[in-house]
Structure 1
Amino acid sequence: MKFFFHYFSIIFKKLTKIWFIIIPVGLFCFSASLADAQVLDEIIGNEPLLRVDTPLPAHGGYTTSVPPFGRPEALFPHGFGMTDWLRKRGIAFLLDNTNEFAGAITPPKKNYPHSQHFAPYKQGASNAGQYAASLNIDWEQLIGLRGFSTHSIIVGRYGTTANRMFGDWLNHASEDYGGGGNVVVHLVMAYGEETLFGGRLSIAAGRMAEMSDFQNSPLFCNFQNGSICGRPKAATDSSFVSGYPAAVWAGRIRVRPSRSLYVQSGLYAGENGIYKNEQHRTGFKFNGGNINGFRLPLEIGWEPLFGNNHPGHYKIGGVMMTAPSPDNYFDEDGQPYALSKGKPRIRHDGYGAWFMADQHILNHYHSKKRGITLLGGFLYNDKRIALREWEAYGALIDRGIFRSRPFDTFGLSFTYEKIAPGVQATEATMLDTQQFSHLPNHATGVQRHAAVLEVNYAIHVYRGVIFQPLLEYFFRPNGQGNLRDAALLGFKSHIEIF
């Protein structure tokens, strides 16, 4: 645990130097006008996650066999009459926009070792974002097909991310970057779901994202940086893991033996190149020609409600993977490939495991919708094939800390990533043998460990509109000790249109 104390001592020293920036931001947030309801848990990308994290009703059942679709507060809540008309017929349409800006307030290191082999780093800023639309249809309400619903999401993404400007390729400063194909319309997911026995059994199949059902939480995107938003980055360490906005052919079964307990498993195709334009630029590539393995996740979740409305979510799980993954150290003959110059050994037996938890611990002003929630988790990957051997995270979300601002949210998160020993050994060998241009992961030195801190305050500006000033701090960018720490200021905005 020594490294945690080391990092937190650095955090407090750095915060004292930039407190003159944080205080004015906080005063601005406090003085904003009173508003009423939308929070960042309810973005369109979180719709599948919210279904996982919602226990069965304590009493009674659903209006239909299909669990109700979410209806977050929106700028145009009735959609000029259109969305109200559709919902009366079992059709829920949502449209939103998320924009993320980040700019470095610290300069990157100049003349870093072997810099001649890479593009020069710079101090700069970036903007990235996406517009998203979802269409959920309750076919029982529409045509009487009992328990059946369909879910689809499309996005369009734009912009770039600032972290690569100062040499970090591990964690995006703006999570809404990449994977969207740089097209106007990119299909994220489209699948059908059958709900049986009052919500106790759910069976789904189609184009699905594994990370929208497993090792995730709708609370993560109360932050902007990619080490936690979307999902903790170690969860998608393999290029075969399907995470928003990428999907694969898949099937999933979720069983709820009791109100607060669920068990789920699935089979997700390992499709080569799901994040690359040449394979899945639009998301509408449906043939299975690039399937070369499978992922089989299993997760058990407990969703208790303690005391005076203190909900929690605790989940533990693991995954097996048969998709071909290169060893990060050995070649086919069991020798270091950095020395033999051979090809890495291919593994077909990868695995991973995780534990995640969040718990609401305190209500503000006797309100069930305000208070403090703590998050924590640990993710472990197969160190033979992983870049990140493990990741640990902790976060605090305080909603309604000020009585006059019931839906403003203060957030603090810290993530730590440990690079796999095989990656470290390979990079050290390449540096010793002067193979500078062949270093993996855009490295310019040995990658060992990295950490990211974020502090933010989300202002509920108006109905369906959130503006979130934030600070990000990257310790050891790209996991390297030869690169200077980077601090960024920025903001995240979210507008729920319908």
Structure 2
Amino acid sequence: MKFTNAKRQLWLATTACAGLVLSCAGAQAQSANTTELNLPPVAAISQDLAAKGIYLNANYFGEFAGNLSGGEHQGSDYADQVVAGADIDLQKLVGWQGAALHIEFTNRDGRSQGADVINNSVATQQIYGGGQTYNLTTLTLEQKLLNGMIDITAGRTELDQLTLNDPIYCHFQSNAICGQPDIMGKIINASFWPVAVWGGRVVVSPVQDWYVKAGIADNDPVDSASPHHGFDWGTGHSKGAEIPLELDYQTSFADDAYPRRYDVGVVFDRTPYTYDQFMPVSKTGYGRTMLYVQAKQMVYRPDMNSQRGLTVFGAAVFGPDSNQVADYNISAGAVYQGPMASRPADSAGFLISDTHYRGSFINELYNYRVTTLGGSQRPASSLMMMEADYDAYLTPWLDVMPNVQYIVHPDGLGSRAYPKSNLPDAFVVGLQFNVNIGGLIGLPSEN
């Protein structure tokens, strides 16, 4: 069988990924390597800061993705991200009870394989986006009142930190669900990490495990422009706001043998919108709404003396208005923490996400394809993305996650021109790695 250079590289990547998984599966014990760089001045300074309530952190993420078949053509891309910041306990630092300051900077680089190669609107690398540059991503003040019953956070943040999110979603390299289901941007206007706007949230916990959440996020297209890097804090360009409301029930290992989370929510978008982001035909309007439910439940524990076990999750997002690009998304998956007793920090995951485009939107695309491009095939009404992965913790500061992704009906709405006919399904191999720089150089953790 004859391969192009690109395919040969992808097969090598696939073989490396498979070898890594097999080596993990054959391991007899989880690595106890706590090797850190010997940087006494850094350790001394960070320990002194931590004693004052200032906790520094830094991470490097890298993601490779390449498709062996399908999409616009075959090829691969690499994207990376550096995150650095601090969590400051103001009670410890200056005696301000219940207060904390959160600061985070990001720098992104690289290309989007999903957009550039497959021509799909949803990325195969979840760390791509936000201008591929440096940004002040978070600068928020948090205040807890009444022994934590009320938690108020405000400052420079973004909508996806305020609603419809869960840490389990970013177990995956695909951007179909990381942060929140990707459909959010096809139903309402939204600000997405790492690009920040003015916003805040109030969380009230009237009884244990129950939370009522309300927030607001500005919609400012100037803040989304990369030249400002998150430092244009004016409000003169504001187009309105998004207002999320959520009711959340959530337990933990502290009070539940099988931790769970169930919540329902709504986001009211009071801003003007345009279809230009998703199609060659301009269409504008004002005001939309998003409804959602999400659930997460641990269903199996092989050992009640550890936190190993299988957790299943799902989310359903709906756009009830006729002026939305998509009308619903259903996402579901599972993550097995510690699939082998000898490797409790490892995890394996599976995800499937299906976005259904509104009929009126598909009709617009079909009309453009026929009248302008000379095509005749009706665009697919759904975009389905799947992923299977294995996250191997090789040291306490390094984990590597080989993964495979399959995209059914790539939508042709990536960075390339809209295609004359529907694109073939794409098979993608990926590799994500995360270097906890703070752990590597010995920065103390707040927990």
- TM-score where L is the length of structure 2: 0.85
1:204 and 2:144 are equivalent in the alignment: no
2:119 to 155, 162, 168: 168
Letter in 2 for 1:264: K
1:389 alignment partner in structure 2: 327
Q: 1:452 to 1:159 in 2, by over 3 A?
A: same
* Equivalence map 1:43-54=2 (5 Å): none
1:484 and 2:409 are equivalent in the alignment: no
1:195 and 2:195 are equivalent in the alignment: no
1:344 to 283, 287, 291: 283
2:198 to 205, 228, 249: 249
1:61 alignment partner in structure 2: none
Distance 1:246 1:86 in 2: 28
Distance 2:337 2:24 in 1: 13
Q: Is the Cα contact below 8 Å between 2:171 and 2:349 reproduced in 1?
A: yes
Superposed displacement of residue 382, structure 1 = 4.2
Q: Secondary structure at the match of 1:129?
A: strand
Distance 1:383 1:74 in 2: 54
1:403 alignment partner in structure 2: 341
Q: Is the Cα contact below 8 Å between 2:223 and 2:232 reproduced in 1?
A: no
1:293 alignment partner in structure 2: 240
1:139 and 2:119 are equivalent in the alignment: no
2:107 alignment partner in structure 1: 156
1:469 alignment partner in structure 2: 402
Superposed displacement of residue 74, structure 1 = 9.6
Superposed displacement of residue 255, structure 1 = 0.5
Q: Is the Cα contact below 8 Å between 2:260 and 2:297 reproduced in 1?
A: yes
1:99 alignment partner in structure 2: 62
Q: 1:20 to 1:134 in 2, by over 3 A?
A: closer
Superposed displacement of residue 224, structure 1 = 0.3
Q: Is the Cα contact below 8 Å between 1:299 and 1:317 reproduced in 2?
A: yes
Q: 1:129 to 1:32 in 2, by over 3 A?
A: farther
CA distances 1:225-250 after superposition (whole Å, capped 9, x unpaired) = 01012221012336731121111111
1:333 alignment partner in structure 2: none
Distance 2:32 2:322 in 1: 46
Distance 2:290 2:433 in 1: 33
1:86 and 2:75 are equivalent in the alignment: no
Letter in 2 for 1:488: V
Letter in 2 for 1:241: A
Superposed displacement of residue 263, structure 1 = 0.5
Letter in 2 for 1:35: Q
Q: Is the Cα contact below 8 Å between 1:206 and 1:250 reproduced in 2?
A: yes
Q: Is the Cα contact below 8 Å between 2:56 and 2:87 reproduced in 1?
A: yes
Distance 2:15 2:174 in 1: 22
Superposed displacement of residue 305, structure 1 = 5.1
Q: 1:33 to 1:172 in 2, by over 3 A?
A: farther
Q: Is the Cα contact below 8 Å between 1:327 and 1:385 reproduced in 2?
A: no
Q: 1:352 to 1:314 in 2, by over 3 A?
A: same
Distance 2:295 2:35 in 1: 29
Letter in 2 for 1:297: P
Distance 2:390 2:116 in 1: 25
Q: Is the Cα contact below 8 Å between 1:167 and 1:478 reproduced in 2?
A: no
1:270 and 2:207 are equivalent in the alignment: no
Superposed displacement of residue 34, structure 1 = 3.5
CA distances 1:150-183 after superposition (whole Å, capped 9, x unpaired) = 111110111112112444332101011110x333
1:435 alignment partner in structure 2: 372
Distance 2:188 2:79 in 1: 22
Q: Secondary structure at the match of 1:471?
A: strand
1:496 alignment partner in structure 2: 436
Q: Is the Cα contact below 8 Å between 2:294 and 2:315 reproduced in 1?
A: yes
1:360 and 2:298 are equivalent in the alignment: yes
Q: Is the Cα contact below 8 Å between 1:234 and 1:381 reproduced in 2?
A: no
Q: Is the Cα contact below 8 Å between 2:221 and 2:237 reproduced in 1?
A: yes
Q: 1:127 to 1:140 in 2, by over 3 A?
A: same
1:111 alignment partner in structure 2: none
1:59 alignment partner in structure 2: none
Letter in 1 for 2:65: A
Q: Secondary structure at the match of 1:316?
A: strand
1:426 and 2:364 are equivalent in the alignment: yes
Q: 1:310 to 1:76 in 2, by over 3 A?
A: farther
- TM-score where L is the length of structure 1: 0.76
Letter in 2 for 1:470: N
Superposed displacement of residue 75, structure 1 = 5.2
RMSD: 2.9
Distance 1:421 1:317 in 2: 25
1:309 alignment partner in structure 2: 257
Distance 1:37 1:396 in 2: 27
Q: Is the Cα contact below 8 Å between 1:327 and 1:344 reproduced in 2?
A: yes
Q: 1:399 to 1:166 in 2, by over 3 A?
A: same
Q: 1:199 to 1:259 in 2, by over 3 A?
A: same
Q: Is the Cα contact below 8 Å between 2:187 and 2:288 reproduced in 1?
A: no
Distance 1:21 1:485 in 2: 24
1:320 alignment partner in structure 2: 268
Letter in 2 for 1:147: G
Letter in 1 for 2:24: C
Letter in 1 for 2:73: K
Letter in 1 for 2:168: L
Q: 1:194 to 1:124 in 2, by over 3 A?
A: same
Q: Secondary structure at the match of 1:468?
A: strand
1:182 to 132, 152, 166: 132
Distance 2:15 2:70 in 1: 19
2:208 to 237, 245, 259: 259
1:117 alignment partner in structure 2: none
1:28 alignment partner in structure 2: 23
